[in-house]
């Protein structure tokens, strides 16, 4: 029989972040001066990371005990045709400090240079998410161990979540 | 005699009179396999019966929901989320509604908050009941399926009466609820709680102490806490490894900040720990429902919202805890009536891709146990 008493650890209060959002923002800006802070980014502090220093920043954010962002809970790819680039948004959480930040990395353009370095070795969960972003938006993650289409068939032409994608069958009209 | 122990393959080959070498080969598990609960194809590289590598192929029921969301209005998006994780539809609806409410700054009436929480917990119970039945069936115990579905039927009847549907409810709307609860809702929910409190120990007696079941789950598919965090395995599967990932505790929403419940955490991280976590979570869900069902406040069930919802420019993220783990909605709005980009972070997606990590080295029969305790729902993964 599974007894309720044995396996439930004592109830603790609702978790709160160990430091406030403002302090965390300040701390990150101090540690990484190359990051550009977006003040109107929503509930989590947002930073733009230059693509070339993405891996360096990601590794530091994961490994330094002050930040300890060990949990990547969301990876979103976005297409910005007016600005002529694609963007990847990383939502990170620290399971020790219980605080969250958002990193945004941008590609140089939407065609040949739609490339970003992979973070799939830093957070293994990114492996599948990056494959999905490659499949649906055509972002090439350099250094990814297995970059193939994930949801669509291998012979699919184009990347459906791009804004200028035209469906040959016209199943979805936007 | 050569005293140095030979590796297994070499010694086996040496024993064969013809000197035949064994080699690894591929087996397709799925897309039509009863234990995948949907259309999932696993390409297994196996050596004898030991799994060397697993490669999941998904997308068989990809419906491009994220692309459809870029066309639809916010009220229409809510009903698409039912079709993702159809066993956690209230929670999925709630996630989109909470994101929209957060963006617009709508204060949801207390009545709606409490009803939402009760419905979420009922959904979690129904989902875990189905999982329990189906998991037993995967491991060769047909009886559990009948028991699980018998009790799930009572929840479905409650949903049918209040929401008008049994599976894809679409009952939670931006601002509150679609319409008020049925007069019988409280009575029937209380009757169900009383009924299920007697039946849950029966679940235990049927399966938990079964020797065959224990042997097939204990020590199988061990996932460490560090790996659970790194692979983003959430929900009961993550908590069975000790990863404290309950969004209801981390960032409470609706009425979760005023109820008393425990976050079930375990250390073992094997199939049996995942099983225990879900059984114990059912007790917690029952306790949450009991605390709230007599305290549904009177008043409005929906706040005033415009017919056509336009979100301000910006980004909004909302996390909720579904029966499978953390579900996230990321809305990027450009001020129009439909989102510029909408991303669903589905729990099953991350939970599936840990499979290769934990099932490598196991036997094919163990893979069935691992998959059923991860509790995968394919429409949730394919979206």
Task: Give contacts of A5 with chain B, Cβ < 8 Å.
Answer: none
**Check whether domain A19-142 has CATH 3.30.460.80, yes or no:** yes
Looking at the predicted structure, is the pLDDT value of residue B17 above 80?
A: no
Indicate the pLDDT class of residue B128, thresholds 50, 70 and 90: very high
Residues in chain A with pLDDT values less than 50: 5-13
Sole residue written with tokens 């199988």: B220
In this complex, which of A4, A78, A151 lies closest to B382 when CB atoms are compared? A151
- For residue B31, whether the previous peptide bond is cis, meaning omega lies within 30 degrees of 0, is yes
Contact state of B230 with A11 under an 8 Å Cβ cutoff: no
In this complex, which of B62, B264, B341 lies closest to A151 when CB atoms are compared? B62
Indicate the pLDDT class of residue B193, thresholds 50, 70 and 90: very high
Contact state of A71 with B349 under an 8 Å Cβ cutoff: no
Asked if residue B155 lies in contact with residue B169, where contact means CB atoms within 8 angstroms, the answer is: no
In this complex, which of B67, B326, B353 lies closest to A127 when CB atoms are compared? B353
Note whether B353 contacts A: Cβ–Cβ < 8 A: yes
In the prediction, which pLDDT does B124 show? 92
Residue in chain A closest to B256 (alpha carbons) equals A14
In 3D space, the residue among B240, B258, B250 whose CA is nearest the CA of residue B324 turns out to be B240
Looking at the predicted structure, is the pLDDT value of residue B306 above 70?
A: yes
Which residues have a Cβ under 8 Å from the Cβ of B130 and sit 6 or more positions away?
B87, B148, B149, B152
Rounded to a whole number of angstroms, the distance from the CA of B10 to the nearest CA of chain A is 31
Sole residue written with tokens 């029952």: B286
In the prediction, which pLDDT does A6 show? 45
In the prediction, which pLDDT does B29 show? 84
Between A17 and B133, the higher pLDDT residue: B133
Contact state of B244 with A8 under an 8 Å Cβ cutoff: no
Which residues have a Cβ under 8 Å from the Cβ of B213 and sit 6 or more positions away?
B136, B139, B141, B207
Name which of B67, B99, B226 to mutate to probe chain A: the one with the most chain A Cβ atoms within 10 A of its Cβ.
Answer: B67
For chain A, give the number of residues: 174
Average pLDDT along chain B: 85
Looking at the predicted structure, is the pLDDT value of residue B231 above 70?
A: yes
Which residues have a Cβ under 8 Å from the Cβ of A26 and sit 6 or more positions away?
none
Between B108 and A172, the higher pLDDT residue: B108
H or E element that contains B163: helix B142-163
Q: Cα(B183)–Cα(B12) distance, rounded to whole angstroms?
A: 71
In the prediction, which pLDDT does A7 show? 43
Rounded to a whole number of angstroms, the distance from the CA of B229 to the nearest CA of chain A is 6
Pairing state of beta strands A46-49 and A100-106? parallel
Asked if residue B383 lies in contact with residue B368, where contact means CB atoms within 8 angstroms, the answer is: no
Asked if residue B178 lies in contact with residue B116, where contact means CB atoms within 8 angstroms, the answer is: no
Asked if residue A119 lies in contact with residue A126, where contact means CB atoms within 8 angstroms, the answer is: yes
Domains observed in chain B? 65-382 (1.10.645.10)
3-class DSSP state for residue A119?
Answer: coil
Residue-range domain boundaries for chain A: 19-142
Sole residue written with tokens 């460490």: B224
Residue B228's φ and ψ, nearest 5 degrees, are -60, -40
Q: Which two tokens stand for residue B333?
A: 């709005």
Does the model's ipTM exceed the 0.90 cut?
no
Q: Cα(B1)–Cα(A76) distance, rounded to whole angstroms?
A: 61
Mean pLDDT over B70-93 rounds to 88
In the prediction, which pLDDT does B191 show? 92
Q: Which two tokens stand for residue A80?
A: 């910005």
Indicate the pLDDT class of residue B327, thresholds 50, 70 and 90: very high
Contact state of B280 with A2 under an 8 Å Cβ cutoff: yes
């Amino acid at each position: 029989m599974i007894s309720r008493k044995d396996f439930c650890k004592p109830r603790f209060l609702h978790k709160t972040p160990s430091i406030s959002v403002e302090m965390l923002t300040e701390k990150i800006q101090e540690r990484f001066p190359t990051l550009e802070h977006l003040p109107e980014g929503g509930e989590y502090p947002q930073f733009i990371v230059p693509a070339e220093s993405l891996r360096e920043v990601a590794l530091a954010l994961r490994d330094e005990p002050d930040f300890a962002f060990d949990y990547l809970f969301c990876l979103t790819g976005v297409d910005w045709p007016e600005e002529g680039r694609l963007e990847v948004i990383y939502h990170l959480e620290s399971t020790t400090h219980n605080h969250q930040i958002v990193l945004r990395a941008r590609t140089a353009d939407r065609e040949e240079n739609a490339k970003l370095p992979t973070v799939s070795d830093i957070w293994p969960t990114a492996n599948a998410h990056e494959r999905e972003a490659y499949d649906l938006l055509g972002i090439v993650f350099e250094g990814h161990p297995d970059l193939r289409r994930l949801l669509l068939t291998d012979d699919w032409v184009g990347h459906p979540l791009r804004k200028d994608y035209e469906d040959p069958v016209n199943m979805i009209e936007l | 005699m050569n005293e140095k122990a030979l590796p297994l393959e070499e010694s086996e080959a040496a024993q064969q009179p013809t000197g035949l070498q064994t080699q690894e080969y591929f087996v397709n598990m799925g897309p039509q396999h009863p234990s995948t609960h949907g259309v999932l194809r696993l390409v297994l590289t196996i050596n004898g019966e030991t799994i060397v590598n697993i490669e999941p192929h998904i997308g068989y029921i990809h419906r491009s929901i994220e692309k459809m969301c870029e066309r639809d209005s916010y009220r229409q998006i809510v009903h698409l989320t039912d079709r993702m994780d159809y066993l956690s539809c209230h929670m999925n609806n709630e996630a989109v509604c909470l994101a929209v409410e957060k963006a617009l700054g709508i204060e949801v009436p207390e009545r709606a908050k409490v009803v939402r929480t009760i419905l979420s917990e009922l959904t979690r119970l129904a989902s875990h009941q189905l999982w329990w039945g189906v998991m037993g069936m995967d491991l060769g115990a047909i009886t559990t399926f009948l028991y699980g579905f018998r009790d799930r039927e009572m929840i479905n009847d409650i949903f049918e009466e209040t929401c008008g549907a049994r599976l894809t409810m679409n009952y939670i709307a931006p601002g509150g609820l679609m319409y008020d609860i049925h007069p019988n809702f409280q009575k029937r929910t209380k009757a169900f709680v009383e009924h299920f409190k007697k039946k849950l120990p029966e679940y235990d007696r049927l399966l938990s102490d079964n020797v065959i079941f224990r042997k097939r789950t204990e020590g199988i598919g061990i996932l460490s806490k560090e790996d659970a965090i790194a692979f983003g395995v959430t929900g009961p599967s993550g908590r069975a490894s000790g990863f404290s990932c309950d969004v209801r505790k981390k960032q409470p929403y609706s009425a979760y900040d005023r109820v008393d419940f425990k976050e079930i955490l375990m250390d073992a991280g094997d199939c049996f720990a995942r099983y225990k976590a879900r059984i114990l979570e059912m007790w917690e869900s029952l306790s949450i429902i009991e605390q709230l069902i007599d305290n549904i406040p009177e008043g409005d069930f929906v706040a005033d919202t415009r017919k056509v919802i336009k979100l301000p420019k910006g980004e909004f993220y909302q996390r909720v805890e579904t029966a499978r783990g953390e579900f996230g909605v990321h809305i990027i709005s450009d001020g129009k009536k439909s989102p510029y980009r909408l991303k669903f972070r589905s729990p099953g997606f991350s939970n599936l891709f840990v499979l290769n990590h934990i099932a490598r080295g196991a036997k094919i029969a163990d893979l069935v146990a691992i998959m059923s305790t991860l509790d995968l729902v394919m429409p949730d993964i394919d979206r």
